[in-house]
Amino acid sequence: MCTKIYFIQMGDSGPIKIGQSDSPTLRMSQLQTANPAKLRMLWIYEGSGYTEVEIHDLFKSDRIRGEWFKPSEDLISFIKTTLMNDYTVNLVDGDVVSIFHFFDGRVGISTSHGNIIFDGDSQIVNGKKI
């Protein structure tokens, strides 16, 4: 199993727990048992660019206690723009495909030929719903 870094938030605007686990969804279930607020998984990071310790260090000024951090603009932006965009695939023809995941469940793919966003029921290609 591969250890993953998870970002779990209490409610919609509460503190964010940054931890690591082989099974982040099981870990969230364990945390939920002892937490009166509804927890939500913001992101599970499987990339290789950052370690849990490095992320904790980056946001040490936002640390509340232990692995819990204030949901600062910097932390939310880091999750959205850095971690969620850390998936790239090099194609045979030399093109690079980037895969983006959004908090609302949509997935986007970006290539030199354009962008596609999948929102469950339809696709948005270069800004146009098809």
Residue 97 or residue 4, greater confidence: 4
Task: Reply yes or no on whether the pLDDT at 50 is more than 60.
Answer: yes
CA distances to 18, 26, 105 from 37, in Å: 17, 17, 21
Phi, psi of 90 (to 5 degrees): -90, 120
Confidence band for 41, pLDDT divided at 50, 70 and 90: confident
Average pLDDT of span 100-115: 62
pLDDT tens digit sequence for 11-40: 989 999 999 998 888 899 999 999 999 998
Average pLDDT of span 44-73: 91
Query: How does strand 16-21 pair with strand 128-129?
Result: unpaired
Q: Residue ranges of the domains in the chain? A: 4-83, 87-129
Q: What's residue 17's pLDDT?
A: 97
Average pLDDT of span 114-123: 60
pTM, two decimals, is 0.66
